[in-house]
Structure 1
Amino acid sequence: MINLYPVLLIANIPLILGNIVVVIAAILLGPWYALLTAIICVSGLMLLWASPHVYLIFGLEALWLGFAKRKNVYALYASIAYWLLLGMPLFYLYATFFTHIPSASLPFIALKQSINALIYTSLGALIVLIVPYFWHFKTKIIDSQRRTFNAQLTYTFTLVVTLSLLSSTLLFNNQFIKRQKATIYDNLNDSVVHLGTFTSVFLSEHLKAINNAAHWLSIDNQGQEDWQYQLTSLHQSYPSFITMLLADKKGNVIAASPKADLDLSLKPNIADRDYFQQAFFYQQRFISSVFLGRGFGNDPIVAISAPIYSPKQKHNPIAIIEGSLNLNQFAQIDHANTQNHQQAMLLVDGHQKVIYASKMLMLKPLTSLKMTLVGEEYETGLPMMNIIDTKNPMPEFIYAAFKLKNGWTLYALNPLMPLIKLIEELYLATFAILIIALLVTLYITRVVSLRLTQPLELIAKDFGQKHTTTLDIEQVENEAPQEIYDLHQRIQKSKQTLINYQSELENSVTLRTQELEKANVKLKSLSEIDPLTGLCNRRSAELKFNTLHEINQRNNETMVVALLDLDHFKQVNDIQGHLGGDEALKAISALLVSTFKRDTDVISRFGGEEFLLILSFSEPLKIEAHLNHFREKLAQTRLSNPLTQAHFTVTTSIGAIMASPRFSASLEDWIKQADINLYKAKDSGRNKVIYTQIS
């Protein structure tokens, strides 16, 4: 809707503001939503201008800005690049091949489009920057890289400077051009009144001269024989007449001046001329339209005529007097307008035939004036016309008109092109000033951002070091703004607090580490040792088996795995209680340790009342006797219940196997075979050792 009503400045220069939403869509949503937005926005321009180029140029701009956002390029910088590389060249080519815009104006119009784009891009980017709603827009495109403070500050300054400079310059240019228009039109009005008055006086003076001469000849009693002399004398007094003549009632020329230019013996006749008929038959003073002379030459002339009467018959004309004005006199009137060298003068008669035209108009006398009033879409507020190229929609002249009493019209014209050139120069100056201002802004904002960020970097550097650099601190204290200095003081206090806390934390961590190491040792012990008997548990036994298996396999030694199970241990728990049962487990554990005391012997509480023996480097003939010795010694050991002081004994059944390490690398396979022997021992009466060798 905004694009349907662009702000028209001057000379068909509109200011488009509706494309602000295209910029916002490109920043927030990316290229494709921006393209859709552009199609909607520029449809208003299409309805207004009926030119499809808007879809191409502004659609490409929307895509360019959207993809630039994905590449972390700021919208204003992207807009400048687009119009320099694509926008202005595309518009120039389109206008060259598809419009009637003069080629001399194309660079300016293309530049105007780019300046317009910078205005609405700056506005759109600023709206996104200052409106809090857009900061937290859910589907907003997030920059893939975090921007530096220097870049953000520079861009913000650039937006503000660009928008402020362009807006103020446009307002200034507009006001200046309005004053210039008023000055031009006032000068035109002054000129046309001056030239019109001068022309009216000139015509009135010569009309009066013809009228006085007719009156004088009417009352003269000397007769027609003396008229030639009198006519020559009159012509000398009024040299602005190129020729003068007297004609009788039949239209025959009877006197002429200069006489040498007309052969009266040929009896020239002017009865067919308007100036004769109007003066003789209608008996009135007459100023003719411009026409082509004859007899005295073929130059275009304007005739002034009046009737001559007989002294005796004052109502019956006997002749007429006529003077042909020298049209070059109008050139002198034109040249008299020395204050306005750019202005042109055009004088036409009542039939719109050219009487006089300045050289720049390229119109010859007697030609019919063909002019078109144009420039309605040019917001100048001035009347404009085309004379040279009537089909061109671009106006050629600003004009003011003055109507003379005899029906002639005088035009004072001022070429529009100098005003256009002035506007172009103003816009070019605006663009040049903008470029300079942007460069200065980039430099200044870089310096300002460094003055802000450098103390912060020094503070951060100082915070990360244990020892403060005196030079850096002095720079912060002497040059930094008050807010940064206060921040530095607070950070210094926080740093000291943090150092103290760090020392306490280090001491606490050291203490906790020592405690943790002790706990780990204890935990490791608990994870490998049975807490009741002090023997290694099943998991530890499996790990030790793997080590012993590798050693025996390398040395080609046999291994023994034995399972011990206390006989009727449930009855022991039932009779003696769990304390008695625990005492029995401790006693058998101690007896096992005292019996199988080699470093390589592995004794493990396998679970409940079961124990596991893993023995290496054993002699096949002695191992069974050794196991029986342990069994007998256990049966003879008297156990005591710590609660009741009652004495009791326990026996054990043992299942054992001996085999080469090649038998199996899995402890489960060894235990499975030993468990078979243990079952046989229990099944055959308990308190026995069943031992087998596996080849």
Structure 2
Amino acid sequence: MLFATVIGLIGLVVNLYPIHLFANIQLVLGNVAYVISAILLGPWYALYTALIAVSGLMLAWDSLHVYILFGVEAIVLGFARRRDIYALYASFGFWLLLGMPLFYLYIYLFTDLPGSHIAFVSLKQGINGLVYASIASLIIILTPSFWHFTSKVKDRQRRTFNNQLTYSFTLVITIALLIAAMMFNNQFIERQQNLLYNNINHSASHLASSTQAYLDFHTQAINNAAQWLSLNKHSIAEEQILLSQLHASYPGFVTMLLADNKANVIAASPASLLSKVSGAQKLNIAERDYFIEAFINQRTYMSPLFVGKGFGNDPIVAVSAPLYYPSEPHKPIGIIEGSLDLNAFKAIDDIDTHSENQSMLLIDEKGRVIYASKNLKLTTLSEFSYSQPNVNYISPFPMLNINQQTDMAPEYVYASVTLENGWKLFILNPFRPIVELVEDMYLATFAILVLSLLITLYVSRIISSRLTLPLENIANKFSTNKNGSGVDYAVDEESPQEIYTLFKRLQQSKRQLIGYQLELEEKVAIRTVELEHANSQLQALAERDSLTGLYNRRYAEDKFREVQDLCQRTDEVIAIALLDLDKFKFINDTYGHHSGDLTLKTVAEQLKTDFKRTSDIVVRYGGEEFLLIMPQCNALKIEQHLESFRERLSQLVIDDREDNHQFNVTTSIGAVLGSGTYSQSLEDWVKLADKNLYQAKHSGRNKLVFTTLVEAKDSPTEPL
């Protein structure tokens, strides 16, 4: 009871935070708790654990169906365990035969989810069930303490190795396939959503720019026309002619009119509009906002959408501006007005070619529809109303419902842009195509899962059969006495029958294996001695330069500490010389790399000949640089010895017979002499020698610069 309670509480906490995948699709992992309880403790403890664990889902979803559906699942898995049916197989059968039908029936009867979504949601729940059943089974396999749980349900019959191996293969493949499929589906869906929303945003920005340009152009047109008409005083007949000419230049206006200071229409275009009004009647527009704003407030004005009168009852967006006498530029004498052609917005809508599914919606600042794509089924001048989707429908993008505002599922993903005059432009894309894509992917996942399970069952049974037979043959081969003693100290109740048989037979071959072990240990000891000898040889090879045969830099750094300690104890001096071949790159470039290698070998042989004391260390320090470490040397003769070597090397003729070249090489030498107590670091000595080498190089090459330790420290030279 304590165990069932603890894992139930853990499941409750995990279920409080289901993993969101897409829209209202969530991955539930807290149900692992009652699957573990069902496998270990049986049906009734599993039901108890389930009631605790799914309370987290009740708090997260506020839906009582979780107690019924998952409670039944816990009982079914518990009884399946008592009949030695593995949890994954039992879960698959439950969801296929009982779980998904029950879930479908509940959603159909007690929720308002659209019918097109129900099958998909039921399938998703079934896949989720297989996920947490697989995870629970794997946790039990990987947790040794569960193998010997004292209160666990015992197998009615000892399981065969064949069955255990088959189930393990199936479990691992199922988990891997489900996780990989969900990760792939999630990434693919997320990418599709991002592409869709980026497309919508691009369309919204593009169409908003086109719409704003259309409005700005016609606003500026009315403003320019007002200024032009205000330049001179005209008769009514002249104004009618000028207005008709203006209208011909701006076909984006359905109608245009002029009104006097009493708001009476005195000219209209097309001119035939005035003929529809009787001669005794005058069309007055004093109550219209576009007259009040243009005449009284004296500003260019664009009206919201309204119903026209006099010239027709069509929806109108009016653009108006005041008119003045030339002599009185601050006293209006009337207005000019143009009614925008709302059909022009359809042409703007048609500009967008990013998606056939996208729709355009334009509303004014009062929320009335100015233009809507045909498939939205919204009438011009109607109030635009919409609803947000259910809170359980999680999406990173804004969504809304227009036609079915009470549905849980959203109809459209949208992006909106507010224009400069307060209008809003919406670009809407149906959400259903994405949902259908997700449904197809999950259906494909389920189909692949079923097929993979069947293939895995078949293949794993064949493999396990081929494994168990050789194992029994090996046991027979190593057995010396088939009538074993039957001692049972290494096999528990959970061991497969085949392993139990192998144990009995291998027990009899123990002595033979011990003999092999002793023989093997003797061979290992011999091989160990041989290996140590080989390592010593490798160590020697690691300290030599392969081209010249001289010691390498690593050896010099390792050996210098020993040399320095000796000189420090005996109060002897150390001479360090750094040699760099002059214009070595010229030799390589002129005569080839073979000549360069021959040069290095020749110099190395000359160094070994001239510095042959056992205490001298000759090193190829890198590239064309060589290092001499000369402990316990004669301080008075070492400079002369180095100078003599330099001269002999400069006179030495290098004969490359293979490439038929003869040439000389010179070297610049930087050397320093000091007490062994100076420094334990070879790098400190080399830095001083390197400064002298720098001087030798820059004083014409083929030089020796030799200093004592004090002179080297005071030297102002910079590193080479």
Q: TM-score range by the shorter chain?
A: 0.5 to 0.7
The answer to whether structure 1 residue 29 and structure 2 residue 41 are counterparts is: yes
1:249 paired residue among 226, 244, 261: 261
1:495-534 correspondence runs (5 A): none
Report the equivalent of 2:406. Answer: 391
Q: Which amino acid aligns with 1:211?
A: N
> Hey, what does 1:59 align to over in structure 2?
71
1:169 and 2:181 equivalent? Answer: yes
Mapped contact 1:75–1:125 kept (Cα < 8 A): yes
CA distance in 2, matches of 1:36, 1:373: 38
The counterpart of 1:288, out of the listed 274, 298, 303, is 303
Q: Give the one of 44, 54, 72 matched to 2:56.
A: 44
Q: Which residue of 1 aligns with 2:469?
A: 454
1: CA distance, partners of 2:506 / 2:421: 95
**Residues 300-449 of structure 1: matches in 2 within 5 Å?**
300-374=315-389, 376-449=391-464
Length-normalised TM-score, structure 1: 0.65
CA distance in 1, matches of 2:508, 2:391: 74
Paired letter, 1:313: E
Aligned residue for 2:66, secondary structure, equals helix
Q: Distance in 1 between matches of 2:26 and 2:476?
A: 54
Q: Which moved more, 1:172-181 or 1:27-36?
A: 172-181
Residue 230 (structure 1) shift = 1.8
Q: CA deviation at 1:81?
A: 0.9
Query: What displacement does 1:456 show?
Result: 4.2
**Equivalent residue for 2:95?**
83
Q: CA deviation at 1:494?
A: 6.1
TM-fit CA distance, 1:169: 1.7
Judge conservation of contact 2:401–2:412 (CA < 8 Å) in 1.
yes
Cα pair 1:248 1:254 within 8 Å, conserved: yes
Distance 1:316 1:68 in 2: 95
Which has the greater radius of gyration?
A: 1
Preserved CA contact (<8 Å) 1:463 1:492: no
CA distance 1:248–1:84, shift in 2 (3 Å): same
Match of 1:299 among 296, 314, 319: 314
Rate the CA distance shift 1:31–1:493 in 2: closer, same or farther, 3 A: closer
Equivalent of 1:149 in 150, 156, 161 = 161
Q: Percent identity of the aligned residues?
A: 54
Structure 2 distance, partners of 1:283, 1:389, is 45
- TM-score normalised according to structure 2 size: 0.63
Could you tell me whether the CA contact under 8 Å between 1:26 and 1:33 is conserved in 2?
yes
Tell me how far apart the structure 2 counterparts of residues 435 and 292 of structure 1 sit (CA, whole Å). Answer: 62
Secondary structure of the structure 1 residue equivalent to 2:230 = helix
Partner of 2:119: 107
- Quick one: distance in 2 between partners of 1:320 and 1:62? 80
CA contact (8 A) 1:375 1:384 kept: no
Give 2:224's match in structure 1, choosing from 212, 235, 238.
Answer: 212
Query: C-alpha distance in 2, partners of 1:338/1:261?
Result: 38
Determine if contact 2:201/2:415 at 8 Å carries over to the other structure.
yes
Is the CA contact 1:375–1:385 (under 8 Å) kept in the aligned structure 2? no
Shift of 1:328: 1.2
How many angstroms does 1:225 deviate by? 1.6
5+ long unaligned stretches in structure 1: 467-483, 498-695
Superposed displacement of residue 206, structure 1 = 0.5
Q: What residue is the counterpart of 1:238 in the other structure?
A: 250
| Partner Cα separation in structure 2 for residue 462 and residue 181 of structure 1 | 63
The offset of 1:11, in angstroms, is 0.3
SS for the counterpart of 2:226 is helix
Greater Cα shift, 130-139 or 372-381: 372-381
Given candidates 169, 188, 206, the residue that maps to 2:200 is 188
**CA distance in 2: counterparts of 1:91 and 1:493, whole angstroms:** 58
Is the CA contact 1:244–1:256 (under 8 Å) kept in the aligned structure 2?
yes
Q: Alignment partner of 2:317: what SS?
A: strand
Q: CA offsets per residue over residues 617-649 of structure 1, 9 Å max, x none?
A: xxxxxxxxxxxxxxxxxxxxxxxxxxxxxxxxx
Tell me the distance in 1 between the aligned counterparts of 2:305 and 2:467.
81
Q: Distance in 1 between matches of 2:313 and 2:104?
A: 50
Contact kept in structure 1, 2:258 and 2:335, CA below 8 Å: yes
Shift of 1:493: 9.8
Q: What amino acid is aligned across from residue 424 of structure 2 in structure 1?
A: T
| Structure 2 unaligned residues grouped into runs of 5+ | 1-12, 482-498, 513-720
SS at match of 1:370: coil
> What is the deviation of 1:185?
2.1
Deviates more, 1:158-167 or 1:146-155: 146-155
Shift of 1:95: 0.9
8 Å CA contact retained: 1:210, 1:305? yes
Paired residues in the alignment total 478
